Amino acid sequence: MKKHINSIFKIGFLLSVCYYLAGCAATGVALSKKDLDVQTRTSTAIFVDPVAKDKRTIYLDIKSGVMEFDRRAFKTYVKEQFALNDNGYRIVDDPDAAQFVMVAYVLNLEKASPTAAEAALNQGYLGAR
């Protein structure tokens, strides 16, 4: 009988310790996330007046304050995106031949989770519709 009570006591004690440790882990996670910093940046919407198809030209000027940013690759990517769209706008290399000027300035680069990066890229330059 004494062995039986002793083993029940040990099992109860182990269960209490496990329960306490599980509670500590959940509390630790909650406390570590209490100061979670979420940054959302919304760009300014730009509305362009309709123009004739031959005037749908854009000069793209890419500037960067980040040394690791590849401006040529980004410009190529934007040109490809414009070539794929069906609204008739195209990127030109001569600012005098362009009807519009688009300036992109990269302030900083940050690592993003793969799902967030995919979601942003899937929206394209037009954004969510």
Specify if 8 maps to a domain. Answer: yes
Q: Is the pLDDT at 94 greater than 90, yes or no?
A: yes
Q: Are residues 64 and 93 in the same domain?
A: yes
Burial class (CB in 10 A: 0-12, 13-18, 19+), 56: middle
Say whether pLDDT at 56 is over 70: yes
The model's pLDDT over 2-50, given as tens digits with 9 standing for 90+, comes to 666 766 767 776 667 656 656 655 556 555 655 655 555 556 667 778 8
Q: Two tokens at 40? A: 């959302």
- In total, the chain counts a number of residues equal to 129
Domain span at 106? 53-123
> For residues 125 and 105, which has the higher predicted lDDT (pLDDT)?
105
Same domain (yes/no): 83, 27: no
Report which residue type is found at 73.
Answer: A
- Total number of domains constituting the chain: 2
Tell me the per-residue pLDDT of 97-106, one tens digit each, with 9 for 90 and over. Answer: 999 998 888 8
The H or E element that residue 85 is part of is none
